[in-house]
Structure 1
Amino acid sequence: MKTISSVVEHYIKKKPFLQSALAQGIINLTSLSENRKTRRLKRNWEKILEMAPSLWH
């Protein structure tokens, strides 16, 4: 299973503007990590809810 830190690290590497914003102190790593974590959890719950009806039949 991927860790939040590895997901955030990969995300930052794909988005050069985030590297710049972090370096300048415009955003911080904690808030970025929380944002990514929240989005990932939401996606996971959406997948679970899509599969749920088939689990009950």
Structure 2
Amino acid sequence: MGGDQFEQKAEVSLEGRALDPRTLQERKDRRLRWAQLAASSIDAVAKLADIAVRLIR
């Protein structure tokens, strides 16, 4: 029974790759772009907060 479960997991993995054919490098690049977007968004919010604090003073 353990072998059958392993084969099923392997099939699911292959099916997942068929549905999402991106290479490992493409996935890494995509994650990096999302991380950069998140970092720049956080930076923009911090700058807006700094401006707001200066205006309040």
The TM-score, its normalising length taken from structure 2, stands at 0.51
Equivalent position of 2:38 in the other structure? 43
Larger radius of gyration: 2
Counterpart in the other structure of 2:22: 27
How many angstroms does 1:41 deviate by? 0.4
Which structure has the highest helix share of the two? Answer: 2
RMSD of aligned alpha carbons: 3.0
Unaligned stretches of 5+ residues in structure 2: 1-11
**Cα offset for 1:36?**
0.4
Which letter maps to 2:37? Answer: K
Where structure 1 has 5 or more consecutive residues not aligned to the other structure, the ranges are 1-15
Residue of structure 1 in register with 2:9 after alignment: none
Q: 1:54 to 1:27 in 2, by over 3 A?
A: closer
Share of identical aligned residues, percent? 5
Number of positions where the alignment pairs a residue of Structure 1 with one of Structure 2: 39
